[in-house]
Amino acid sequence: MDRPSITLERTSSSFRRQYFRLAVVIPAVLAVCFLAGVVACWAAMRGLRVQAGLLLGFQLLLLAWLAAGYRRSKHTRILLGPGGGDWDLRALLDMTPDGVFMLDPAGLIRAASRSAAEGLGVPQAELVGRHVLDFVPMGEGRSWEQIARDVTRASAPSTLEYERDGIWFEAAFGPACNAQGDLTGFAVHFRDITAQRHAAGALQESQRTFAAAFEYAPIGMALIGAHGPTIKVNRALEVILGRPESQLLEIAPRDLLHPDDLPLARAVIAEAARLDLPAAEFTARYRRATGEYAPAQFNTSIVRRADGSSNYYVVQVQDTTERRHAQEQLLQAQKLETVGRLASGVAHDFNNLLQAMLLQIQLLGSGRLGAEGAAAAIAEVQDEVQRGKSLVRQLLLFSRHDPAMSEPLDLNQLVANTSRMLRRLVPANIAFSEEPEPGQLCVDGDRSQLEQVLLNLVVNAADAMPEGGTLVIGTGREDDGSPFLSVRDSGSGIPDEIRDRVFEPFFTTKPAERGTGLGLSLVRDIVTGHGGRIDLATGVRQGTTFKIVLPAAKSPRDAAAATERVRPMPPLFPTQSTGTRILVVEDEAGARDALQQILQALGHVVTTAGSAEEAGLLPAAPPFQVLLTDLMLPGILGTELAAGLRDRWPDLRVILMSGYRPDEPIRREIEAGRLRYLQKPFDVAALAAEVEAALASGS
């Protein structure tokens, strides 16, 4: 039997002729065509139309000849034949890294590449004469005749993927024809794609894992295109924003941020992109479906293309409302802890005040001072009362639980207002001093939180100097104009090995009974929340300096007034009023009687009640013009009593009295003009002025 061979339709001499045609003849013909075209154009411009037409005709003939040659060369095929030809392509088949079968029209293998034999694990010689369907399952239950007919009619080679002995192959199957278009056999090309399939499977698994991690992440996540459109959001973000994904995909991300926070977000993201940082973090307020804004922490990662340009952003959103509530609770706990440390110092001061007042009152009662001495003793008692009032007010300010509120503050005034209380936190063997920079150092901040920063740093500094030392609170400006607070001590310093951990929650080197490890952590959170930073300078036996650098206030003109706590007192002896009917409700009998006597001395008509029930039993006529009531009454608030009495006397003016600062609802009532407020203790002048103001305002 003749050995099957693979030949070319073109012999080697024919190939050389084709090469000569490609390398020499075709370029020459194209050059002649170009020159003929140029000359034809020139002849036409000169009016030589006949000559131009002849040249164009010649050009068209040359192009037609080239086209015919191209059509002939296009039909060159690999043919299957019983010998003959100059080139044996078996060596060519063995050079290809993929599997190749040459088939006769019946589907029998007439030639196979070495890679095909190795891939199938069958000797190359044993493949010849076998049917292709024994190795490539392309039939799908059909006969060879059906397969051959379908492949012959197809406009492109048929492809399929199949598995054999754990190995995946991709096969391409097409007809082999001679120059006349007659079918002479078939060619099959196949290659091992196991690695590609495994890679594709791994990619799909990775995509499924990412999709699951994205969808079920406990924090909100969104994919946002480089130019703004939202591509996808997860379930957590739907819950946070209170909107379904279908709505969020139609809303521009910028429309979900508070307008005042948008410039900061853009600046942070742009800076991260400029510095090629992996992510940008910022805090901003987002808009819920209800229209309310809530705080959140944003982390934006930039996913880049191969050329470095931004492709899309992965945005993580974590609502920090609960975290802020927890931080406020921690702040309050820290305040109460500090107040506990202040208790002994405050008790000492109060004992001194009470001692002075008791002696002066006893001197007054003895009748030995005379008119001038009695007046001096009374003035001294009043001074002691004012000092006690200031002490109580500071203590209440330190221990209060107010919501966070940013306002213009002067750091120098803040230090001056808190220094007296801070001194009580420092043992007698520590020298306490202040080094303020002259002028105003204005920031936008929450007074209560910044006071807590000072308290925590002073306590920390005092604890670092059990044997005594110096503690200095200072203020100043950085080179860029940013104001700062500093607390410097001459204590033991912080070792290098723990320096990076001092701001970690619950990290402390103090005994359990002296610290929780939350003081400096809270300081860091407060300062970061104010957009500031903490600079720490320390060394073993070299002391420690904490510098709190804060952004300058946007509107510093009101900082001094906002920071000042003590309002100016009205004149001590106001003019008397006449005929105003005032109802006084106070459960403390001594205070109630004193108020009645003073108001009557000022010319008012006064009725008193010791409880809300007693006030409710009073006759409706004649009506009262002013209600002066304690805020904290037995079983009821003064605001609730006022609301009930206004049903009887609609024009009733209301003045609340309390030793506590008003909370947020009462502040809103005061700002709206529906209530007035007297902070206990108050003197006669303040009481008279408040009554006159209530009558004048109608509140």
Better-predicted residue by pLDDT, 508 or 583: 583
For the cut 70, the answer to whether the pLDDT of residue 567 exceeds it is: no
> Could you identify the residue written with the tokens 């003035």?
379
Which of the residue ranges 89-93, 364-368, 493-497, 536-540 would you say has the lowest mean pLDDT?
Answer: 89-93
Average pLDDT (354-367) is: 79
Which of the residue ranges 145-154, 570-579, 587-596 would you say has the lowest mean pLDDT?
Answer: 570-579
Query: Are 679 and 690 spatial neighbours (Cβ–Cβ below 8 Å)?
Result: no
pLDDT band at 75 (very low <50, low <70, confident <90, very high): very low
pLDDT above 90 coverage of the chain, percent:
14
Query: Are 518 and 503 spatial neighbours (Cβ–Cβ below 8 Å)?
Result: no
pLDDT band at 625 (very low <50, low <70, confident <90, very high): very high
Which of the residue ranges 139-143, 215-219, 636-640 would you say has the lowest mean pLDDT?
Answer: 139-143
* φ and ψ at residue 520, rounded to 5 degrees: -75, -30
Amino acid 612: pLDDT: 92
Average pLDDT (257-263) is: 89
For the cut 90, the answer to whether the pLDDT of residue 614 exceeds it is: yes
Picking from 158, 180, 3, 172, the residue whose alpha carbon sits closest to that of residue 79 is 180
Written as one letter, the residue type at 130 is R
> Could you identify the residue written with the tokens 């479906």?
289
Query: Are 313 and 226 spatial neighbours (Cβ–Cβ below 8 Å)?
Result: yes
Among 23-27, 251-255, 382-386, 663-667, which range has the highest average pLDDT? 251-255
Q: How far is CA 192 from CA 93, 128, 173, 566, in A?
A: 17, 21, 15, 87
Residue 64 Ramachandran class (φ > 0 left, ψ -120 to 50 alpha, else beta): alpha
DSSP state of 307: T
Q: How far is CA 388 from CA 356, 394, 567, in A?
A: 11, 10, 16
3-state secondary structure of 145: helix
Q: How far is CA 6 from CA 17, 128, 178, 184, 414, in A?
A: 21, 13, 13, 11, 98
Which of the residue ranges 128-137, 466-475, 656-665 would you say has the lowest mean pLDDT?
Answer: 656-665
Q: What is the DSSP string of 216-259?
A: T-SSEEEEEETTS-EEEE-HHHHHHHTS-HHHHTTS-GGGGB-T
Which of the residue ranges 222-236, 308-322, 354-368, 561-575 would you say has the lowest mean pLDDT?
Answer: 561-575
3-state secondary structure of 442: strand
pLDDT band at 699 (very low <50, low <70, confident <90, very high): low
Amino acid 463: pLDDT: 84
Tokens for 336, please give them: 């109460």
Distance CA 349, CA 384 (A): 11
For the cut 70, the answer to whether the pLDDT of residue 108 exceeds it is: yes
Q: Give the residue ranges of DSSP H helices in 308-369.
A: 321-366
pLDDT band at 546 (very low <50, low <70, confident <90, very high): very high
Which of the residue ranges 88-92, 379-383, 604-608, 623-627 would you say has the lowest mean pLDDT?
Answer: 88-92
Tokens for 208, please give them: 């499924």
CA terminus-to-terminus distance, the chain: 122
Contacts of 493 (CB under 8 A, 6+ apart): 464, 538, 539, 540, 541, 542, 543, 544
Distance CA 452, CA 683 (A): 31
Amino acid 483: pLDDT: 94
551: preceding bond cis by omega (within 30 degrees): no
Percent helix, strand and coil across the chain, each to the nearest 5? 45, 25, 30
208 CA to centre of own chain: 26
156 CA to centre of own chain: 54
Q: What is the pTM of this model?
A: 0.42
Amino acid 15: pLDDT: 40
Average pLDDT (182-191) is: 85
pLDDT band at 598 (very low <50, low <70, confident <90, very high): confident
Better-predicted residue by pLDDT, 83 or 457: 457
Query: Are 162 and 132 spatial neighbours (Cβ–Cβ below 8 Å)?
Result: no
Which of the residue ranges 39-53, 649-663, 668-682 would you say has the lowest mean pLDDT?
Answer: 39-53
